[in-house]
Each structure stands twice: as structure tokens, then as C-alpha cells.
């Protein structure tokens, strides 16, 4: 029985590792991987059996790409790990060490000769990596030249900030096209064959180990290596010096800073400061003995799965969402979690009434950790929950997903009309998704242009439940106001895959807001525009390659009054704002964001050292953003103060 379980775990973990390291996708959570890995280690110890290819003796997988491959000068081993502070104290003994973030990105090895960056190689399988030198030269914070002229080799993590990740995802309208997490986005960005794409992704590099630096005496201290790297122009992973007595407090400080950290991390790393002592410890076949990883034991809650809810999108994708009895996790109440796709749902063997364990991945995203009862009773709907049309399971990059096959599915149409009427698009107040559903069912709306001809259905409209003459008049007034719009808003409203409002603004600016030029833009030309790239260019041109879309676009141009957007003023030029809390003078945060951008400013989602002002009408709030702003001495101002700056 045990040997069968060893075989099962070996296969399962290898499959997960291959997906994670070679294919930039995840088929199980980090928590689940760690749990199965620990089980395998214990079984191998108990049985005295380790199969060839066991993940406990093998590091990673050979990368699958067209990038050149190269063997590392010295193997890049994984780290042993613990989830207990006592484990760190036992590891430290009487030694001093450095504790730092374990960043969750892509490990890269850099080599400098004569002061210049000559080579960058990914970790790969720990023995052989992929050469990404041209891509590394576009990383946001890597020095292309350093003062030291001898050979320098160092290791670090390439990562993408949460704020940049959210910005990139916000520009992708197609749910299928959105990235799952910053790690996947970073991995794909670093391993691009076209380094122009890498340059647009704002990849950062943080050094965490110096392999060698010819002719430099570091006085037997890893910290001195870090300090020297900083002097050479590198950003070094944030760290603290610790001993057995102080490591618990350091872990506590790091954990308290997780909500403020703009970089993804999945734990901490402790490395002996005494270089010679660390080297004398040697290594196992898989782990070096001079360092260890610490992973937080995620706060877990047991609850009952009430149902699987199926959520349809305008692309036809139907996502499973787990609805469970509310539980408290990391200070907030959660009652639902995405199951991601059919593959994950099947693996968890979900069914109504199952007892499940839930947690927040990296203390942020609600996830199902384990299904304790595994009834497997959840049915995959054969018909779309919206239109009743046939569904089909399709294999996509991250596994198997469910799709509606009906091209006329109301979800696809209603979601598209909802986007068209949304605030950032045509901004038609009163045309909610529920109202649109009634109008589509009644045959009033079949195309976007029908929205501007609703007056011909007045008699039928005022007889609809919950929609009287007053509602009708308000809606018609709103539609009349919406006729005055801008080209970027119109372009965004069409729902072109991957084209958000900011992308629409870039395209309109490039083609002087000329409808004919925009509609006939060439894919090659679009892809060269800063902020666009190949994926957006392809989906944009595919949209306008369809005659019905071209006709619809031109009909809308004739129906609408297209105004040129006012050129942004420079009052806030160079300033970075973060908005939090409720707003009073603006109808919502999006309107305030637009106001700031029109005046030349920039709005981001996270408070960092680069933030100029945090806008919060409640300056005494104890929110995480207020706390972070005070720590960084960033002024907290109100809406009125922002408006006053423009007068």
C-alpha cells in the first residue's frame, strides 16, 4: 500500500512541478503541494524507498522553449523548509544569520565581466537554464554596467509588482486572457523571445546571493556581500540580521508587513552569515545546509460547501465558484472562492454538503485547501445557466474549462451590452444588466445601435415590470447625454478582447482619433506602439477584420457626437496618487482618477516610496494604506485639497 502511495505522490508532484516550472501554470496550490511533498518525504523515510525521479531528489524540469540553454557553473539547489519558528531556531543554533523575503517570481543568474552584463540565465532545472540576456537588459532596475571589473556572478529573483500586475490585467478585457498571478506573468515576460515585450512588463530584479566576485574580500560575511552588491547598483532583497533569540520577532515583523508588500512572496529565507561555516556544512543531494526556507502556516478554517455556482461571461467561459458557509480568515469574512476550472473542481471531488478547508493564499486570495469528504457529487452543467444552450469542455492552457457553445447566448450579449453602457464606456445611467436583460428578452435590443432607437418601443417599455414612464424618461435622457462621447470611450465600449480604456486611449492618440485610420490599423504597426504589443494588436485587428464589426462601428460613429478629449494639463505632472476610502465630490473613484489623469497625474493602487499623495477624506483612519503612508512620510490629503491644487 505504501509503495503504491509513493508512486502516486511521485507522479502527482512531478506533474505539478512540470506545469509550474516549464509551462507557467498551476494545477494545485502551494499549500497542497507542500502537504503532499511532506507526506512523500515521510513515506520514503519510513519505507526506505526513493523512486527514480522522485521530487525529493530531483530539482525542477528541463525548460521547454526556443531559448538557448546553458549549464550553470554550480548547481542551483532547492531549499529545505519549515513552517515552525522553532525549526528556524534549531537551524540557527549559536550562529548569526540574515532573514529575507522569499520572493515568488523567476530565479535568474547574472554574470558581469569587465563591469558589463554579459549573461543572464534562468534557474531552469537547477543544472541547465535558459539564456535570457537580452531580456534581462530590459529589467527595470538591473545595472547594465557596474564599477567592479572582475568577474561577478550573482543570483536573484525577477518579479513583477502587484500594482503592475493589476494594471496589466485591467487592460485585458477577455477573462480567458487575464493572468492568474504575478509569478505566471513574470515567468512569461522573462522568457519572451521578443525582449520588447519584456521591457513593457516592468520586471524588477532583487539579488539574494553572490556566487563570486573576483578579487573582493568580504571578511567572511554574507551581509558584507549584500552591502557590496548594493554599492554596485543592485537592489538586494529586504533582510534583517537575526539570532536564535531574535528570529521569532523578525518573523513577526515580516508577517505584519505582508499587506503592504507590493511584491509577491511565499515565505522567508534564512541564510548563515558566516560564509566559511555555511560552506563547511555542505549539502544534501537536494538542499544546501547553510540556508532554510520558512513558509507561513496559512490560517485555515473548516466550513461546509453549500453549492457550486456557475458564472457565465461574454466570452462564453463558464467558471465554477464555490459558495460556502461564511468563515473568518485573516481578519475578514469570506464565503466564496473561485474553483478556477473543471480540472481543479474534479481534483477536489467537490459536492454540495462537503466539509472543506479554506484559506487565503499568501494571506490574500480565498482558496479551497482540501475537501475532507470528497463526495464528488458536483455536476458539470450540460446546458448554459443563462441561455440553456449546450456546453462543452475545452482544453485550455491551465486545464479543462467549460464553455457555452451558443453564439447567441444572452450572457454573451447582455454582458457585452452591459460593458457598452458602463461608466467608463458610454456611461448610460439606468441601463443596468437587469434592465438590459428585459430589453433583450423583449427584442428591443439586438445590436449596440438599437440602444439609441429605444424610443420606438415606449409603449411596450413602460408596461414592463418595475419600469414605468418615469424610468423610461430618465433612461431616454441618459441615452441622449451618452450620444456625446469620445473616441477612446467608444472604442473601449465595443468589448474588443484585451482592449481596456487606457489601451483605447493609446490607440486613439496614435491615430489622431481618426475612425478610418483606427479601423484600418495594421497589426504590425499596432504591435510596435508602446503599451500595445502583439497580443492586443492581434485581437484588435481580428475584431475589425469582420465586416459586421466594421459596419457597426461606422453606424455608431454616425449616431454619436464624437468629441476630442481635452489635452491633459500638467498641474499634476510627475505626481503619483493613491485613492482610498469613500469619495464625496466625485461620483466614484474612477471619476476622480480620470480628473487626476486629465491634469497630468498618475493613479496607482498601492502606497510605495514613489507615491506623492495618498487621498483619503478620513485622515485619521487606521487603514493599511494610511499606516503605510505615515511610515513613508507621504502626505495624506482630502478631495478638497486635490481640487484646490487645480485652481
Catalytic positions are: 102
The per-residue b/e assignment along 216-252, b for 16 or more CB within 10 angstroms, e otherwise, is: eeeeeebbbbbebbeebebbbbebbebebeebeebbe
Decide: 100 and 239 in contact? Cβ < 8 Å.
yes
Q: What gap in Å lies between CA 351 and CA 371, rounded to an integer?
A: 9
DSSP tally for the chain: helices H, then strands E: 24, 24
Question: Which residue, 598, 519, 560, is CA-closest to 428?
Answer: 560
State the Cα–Cα distance between residues 77 and 18, nearest whole angstrom: 17
For residue 170, with 0-12 CB atoms within 10 Å meaning exposed, 13-18 middle and 19 or more buried, which class applies?
A: middle
- The grid coordinates of residue 542 equal 481580428
DSSP string, 178-199: S-S-HHHHHHHHHT-SSHHHHH
Per DSSP, helices labelled H in 222-337 are: 222-231, 247-256, 275-280
* C-beta separation of 287 from 80 below 8 A: yes
Rounded distance between C-alpha atoms, residue 430 and residue 416, angstroms: 16
* Backbone phi, psi, residue 229, to 5°: -60, -40
Classify burial at 257, counting beta carbons within 10 Å of its beta carbon; exposed 0-12, middle 13-18, buried 19 or more. middle
Which positions ≥6 away from 104 have C-beta within 8 Å?
157, 159, 182, 183, 264, 265, 266, 362
Q: Are 175 and 313 in contact (CB under 8 A)?
A: yes
Amino acid at each position: 500500500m505504501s509503495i503504491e502511495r509513493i508512486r502516486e505522490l511521485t507522479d502527482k508532484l512531478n506533474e505539478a512541478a512540470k506545469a509550474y516550472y516549464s509551462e507557467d501554470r498551476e494545477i494545485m496550490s502551494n499549500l497542497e503541494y507542500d502537504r503532499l511533498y511532506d507526506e512523500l518525504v515521510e513515506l520514503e523515510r519510513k519505507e526506505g524507498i526513493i523512486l527514480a525521479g522522485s521530487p525529493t531528489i530531483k530539482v525542477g524540469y528541463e525548460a521547454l522553449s526556443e531559448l538557448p540553454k546553458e549549464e550553470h557553473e554550480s548547481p542551483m539547489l532547492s531549499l529545505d523548509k519549515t513552517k515552525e519558528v522553532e525549526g528556524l531556531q534549531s537551524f540557527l543554533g549559536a550562529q548569526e544569520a540574515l532573514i529575507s523575503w522569499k520572493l515568488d517570481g523567476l530565479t535568474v543568474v547574472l554574470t558581469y565581466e569587465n563591469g558589463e552584463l554579459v549573461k543572464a540565465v534562468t534557474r531552469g532545472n537547477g543544472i541547465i537554464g535558459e539564456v535570457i540576456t537580452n531580456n534581462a537588459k530590459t529589467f527595470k532596475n538591473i545595472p547594465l554596467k557596474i564599477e567592479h571589473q572582475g568577474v561577478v556572478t550573482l543570483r536573484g529573483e525577477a518579479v513583477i509588482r502587484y500594482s503592475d500586475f493589476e494594471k496589466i490585467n485591467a487592460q485585458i478585457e477577455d477573462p480567458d486572457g487575464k493572468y492568474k498571478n504575478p509569478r505566471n506573468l513574470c515567468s512569461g515576460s522573462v522568457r519572451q523571445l521578443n525582449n520588447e515585450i519584456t521591457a513593457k512588463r516592468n520586471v524588477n530584479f532583487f539579488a539574494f546571493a553572490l556566487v563570486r566576485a573576483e578579487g573582493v574580500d568580504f571578511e567572511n560575511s554574507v551581509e558584507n556581500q549584500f552591502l557590496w552588491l548594493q554599492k554596485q547598483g543592485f537592489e538586494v532583497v529586504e533582510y534583517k540580521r537575526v539570532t536564535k533569540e531574535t528570529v521569532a520577532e523578525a518573523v513577526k515583523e515580516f508577517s505584519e508587513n505582508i499587506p503592504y508588500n507590493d511584491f509577491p512572496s511565499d515565505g522567508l529565507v534564512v541564510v548563515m552569515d558566516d560564509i566559511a561555516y555555511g560552506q563547511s556544512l555542505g549539502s544534501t543531494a537536494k538542499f544546501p545546509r547553510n540556508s532554510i526556507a520558512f513558509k507561513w502556516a496559512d490560517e485555515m478554517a473548516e466550513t461546509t460547501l453549500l453549492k457550486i455556482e456557475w458564472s457565465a461571461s461574454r466570452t462564453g467561459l463558464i467558471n465554477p465558484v464555490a459558495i460556502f458557509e461564511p468563515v473568518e480568515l485573516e481578519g475578514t469574512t469570506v464565503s466564496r472562492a473561485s474553483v478556477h476550472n473543471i480540472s481543479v473542481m474534479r481534483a477536489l471531488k467537490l459536492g454540495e454538503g462537503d466539509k472543506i478547508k479554506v484559506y487565503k493564499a499568501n494571506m490574500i486570495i480565498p482558496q479551497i485547501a482540501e475537501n475532507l469528504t470528497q463526495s464528488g457529487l458536483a455536476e458539470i452543467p450540460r446546458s448554459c445557466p443563462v441561455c440553456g444552450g449546450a456546453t462543452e469542455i475545452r482544453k485550455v492552457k491551465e486545464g479543462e474549462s467549460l464553455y457555452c457553445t451558443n453564439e447567441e447566448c444572452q450572457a454573451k450579449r447582455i454582458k457585452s451590452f452591459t460593458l457598452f453602457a458602463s461608466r467608463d464606456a458610454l456611461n448610460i445611467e439606468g441601463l443596468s444588466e437587469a434592465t438590459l436583460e428585459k430589453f433583450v428578452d423583449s427584442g428591443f435590443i439586438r445590436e449596440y445601435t438599437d440602444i439609441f432607437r429605444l424610443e420606438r418601443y415606449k409603449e411596450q417599455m413602460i408596461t414592463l415590470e418595475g419600469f414605468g414612464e418615469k424610468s423610461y424618461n430618465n433612461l431616454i435622457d441618459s441615452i441622449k447625454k451618452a450620444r456625446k462621447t469620445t473616441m477612446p470611450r467608444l472604442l473601449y465600449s465595443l468589448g474588443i478582447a484585451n482592449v481596456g480604456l487606457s489601451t483605447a486611449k493609446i490607440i486613439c492618440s496614435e491615430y489622431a482619433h481618426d475612425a478610418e485610420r483606427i479601423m484600418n490599423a495594421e497589426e504590425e504597426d499596432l504591435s510596435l506602439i508602446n503599451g500595445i504589443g502583439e497580443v492586443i494588436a492581434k485581437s484588435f485587428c481580428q475584431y475589425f477584420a469582420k465586416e459586421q464589426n466594421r459596419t457597426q462601428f461606422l453606424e455608431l460613429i454616425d449616431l454619436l457626437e464624437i468629441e476630442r478629449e481635452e489635452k491633459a494639463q500638467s498641474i499634476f505632472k510627475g505626481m503619483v496618487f493613491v485613492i482610498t476610502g469613500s469619495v464625496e465630490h466625485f461620483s466614484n473613484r474612477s471619476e476622480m482618477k480620470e480628473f487626476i489623469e486629465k491634469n497630468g497625474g498618475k493613479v496607482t493602487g498601492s502606497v510605495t516610496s514613489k507615491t506623492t499623495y495618498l487621498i483619503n477624506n478620513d485622515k485619521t483612519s487606521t487603514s493599511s494604506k494610511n499606516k503605510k503612508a505615515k511610515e513613508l512620510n507621504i502626505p495624506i490629503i482630502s478631495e478638497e485639497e486635490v481640487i484646490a491644487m487645480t485652481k
